[in-house]
Amino acid sequence: MSEPLPFGTITILGPGLLGGSLAMAVRAAMPAAAIRLWARREATLQQALDMGIADAACTDPTEAVRGADLVVLATPIGAFRDLAEQIAPSLAPGAIVTDVGSVKNYVHRTTGAWLHEQGHTFIGSHPMAGSEKQGLEAAYPELFRGASIVLTNDHAAPEHTVDRLRQFWELLGGRCYLMESKHHDRTVARISHMPHVLAALCAYSATRGDVRMHDLQSLAATGFRDTTRVCSGSPSMWTDILWENDCAIREILHTCLDDLTELIRLLEIQDKETLHTWLEQARDNRETIIGGQ
């Protein structure tokens, strides 16, 4: 191997869809790296060992992080702070702690700030990859290939440290962007969380009022299927996301509410020309956002 590995021992806490895919991806891209896993349940760890994606697996987080130079929090965000308190005493000097949570300011304010106070290094990661499926069963090694990875360095870790983490994600096929956590949260509220809420709204409202389920079933086509796809995702996970990013989400949802109110008004006052402009603007926005990748 021409370049040295950014990390020799990587501990992943919580091998679900993201954590499990990460273990698989590391195994494939950095075969020389040691992978250590922690999960609450023995059965999950046994499954990971059977899949050959872990060199060590333990139900004790302090043991799992021992000797690791990269520790990845991959549980639900709500469990980060407790885990951080458990692992902190066992962290190797110079170890970097990161996460894969989809909200970053909340993580920095709670877990990151605490680790930083204890003298540890925390840099946030948000791989913009996922699926409406969940769990180790749904994991696959190519999940991060081509994905955008946001890195948030609110506690100002040195540049060479951020670079190591960037190199790690790039070896897995990701494209890294460094952002402030607040800025990240406002952007993903628009590009990921609002789409989820509107997809859910579409499915939620569809059955309300005087309409027969049988007719909805008969006539549902690809438009309904695609527009609502993401709302098949775990309600628990999404409740957490909406919770943890609630300021940025409420801001954009209030904008949505205003924009929807305006659209209904255009229909009511029969302003066909402005309605057309509105739909054109929507289409153009989509082309610009998607096409600019």
- Which residues ranging from 264 to 293 are in contact with a second copy (CB under 8 A)? 264, 267-268, 272, 275-276, 278-283, 285-290, 292-293
Q: How far apart are CA 194 and CA 258, in angstroms?
A: 14
- Taking residues 161 to 190 in sequence order and writing x for each that binds a second copy by CB under 8 A, - otherwise, the string is --------------x-x-x---x--xxx-x
Name the nearest CA neighbour of 194 among 146, 98, 259, 105. Answer: 259
- Which residues ranging from 10 to 49 are in contact with a second copy (CB under 8 A)? none
Q: How far apart are CA 149 and CA 99, in angstroms?
A: 11
* 222 contacts: CB under 8 Å, gap ≥ 6: none
Q: Cβ of residue 155: shortest distance to a second copy, in angstroms?
A: 21
- Which residues ranging from 143 to 162 are in contact with a second copy (CB under 8 A)? 147-148, 150
Sheet containing strand 9-13, edge to edge, reads 56-58, 34-38, 9-13, 70-73, 96-99, 121-122
Count of residues engaged in binding a second copy, rule: CB under 8 A: 95
Does residue 236 touch a second copy according to CB under 8 A?
yes
Q: Which lies closer to a second copy via its Cβ, residue 120 or residue 166? A: 166
- Which residues ranging from 111 to 140 are in contact with a second copy (CB under 8 A)? 128-130
Q: Cβ of residue 125: shortest distance to a second copy, in angstroms?
A: 13
- Which residues ranging from 49 to 108 are in contact with a second copy (CB under 8 A)? none
- Which residues ranging from 194 to 233 are in contact with a second copy (CB under 8 A)? 194-221, 223-233
CB 202 within 8 A of CB 194: no
Q: How far apart are CA 262 and CA 274, in angstroms?
A: 10
DSSP state of 90: G
Q: Which lies closer to a second copy via its Cβ, residue 160 or residue 225? A: 225
Q: Which lies closer to a second copy via its Cβ, residue 28 or residue 256? A: 256
Q: Cβ of residue 189: shortest distance to a second copy, in angstroms?
A: 9
Q: How far apart are CA 278 and CA 150, in angstroms?
A: 31
Amino acid at 187: T
Q: Which lies closer to a second copy via its Cβ, residue 46 or residue 207? A: 207
**Spacing of C-alpha 287 from chain mean position:** 24
Segment contacting a second copy by CB under 8 A, of 65-73, 91-99, 103-111, 235-243: 235-243
Write out the H or E segment, with its range, that includes residue 151: strand 148-152
Q: Cβ of residue 240: shortest distance to a second copy, in angstroms?
A: 9
Q: Which lies closer to a second copy via its Cβ, residue 46 or residue 285? A: 285
Q: Which lies closer to a second copy via its Cβ, residue 109 or residue 229? A: 229
Q: Which lies closer to a second copy via its Cβ, residue 117 or residue 215? A: 215
Measured in degrees and rounded to the nearest 5, phi and psi for residue 179 equal -145, 155
Could you tell me the CA-to-CA distances from 67 to 7, 122, 141, 157 in Å, in that order? 11, 17, 24, 20
**Spacing of C-alpha 100 from chain mean position:** 6
